[in-house]
Amino acid sequence: MSMDLNFWKYKKNTAHDHATVYQTACCDGEVMEVLEILPIDDILKKVTTTFSDWTIQDGGKDFEKEGHGAFQIFTTSQIVRFDCYGMQEADMNALMDILIDFGCPLYDPQISTRFDSWTER
């Protein structure tokens, strides 16, 4: 099974339109005024460290481990998207935990839900 996990951080006092951000920023790769700039290099370093026992290719954008599945990373200056293929729940949770540490909650387009109840609005 494949799914994508999407993360971003809204600027303070901006309207939250998750579906539009998902389509515009996460799918089309466009920069949006309502989103913060993220420390992408720091995020990617943390992913590489956390998944260091996986086979990493394409300059740290493709990860694969036998029995655990695979994921690819797509980023802009404002979003991080993981395209996950056959991954175990624990490994996907590890990706989510990394982005939570950077203040970015998960948006799951499969169920059109952003898990952001812990963030400031």
Q: What is the pTM of this model?
A: 0.94
Calpha distance 33→10 (Å, rounded): 9
What pLDDT does 120 receive?
58
String of DSSP letters for 30-97? ---TTBPPP-HHHHHHHHHHHTTTSEEETTTTEEEETTTEEEEEEE-SSEEEEEEES--HHHHHHHHH
pLDDT digits (tens, 9 = 90+) for 29-48: 999 999 999 999 999 999 99
Distance CA 22, CA 6 (A): 8
Question: Quick check: 81 pLDDT over 90?
Answer: yes
- Cα-based distances in Å from 17 to 24, 44, 89, 94: 11, 26, 27, 26
Least confident interval from 22-26, 47-51, 117-121: 117-121
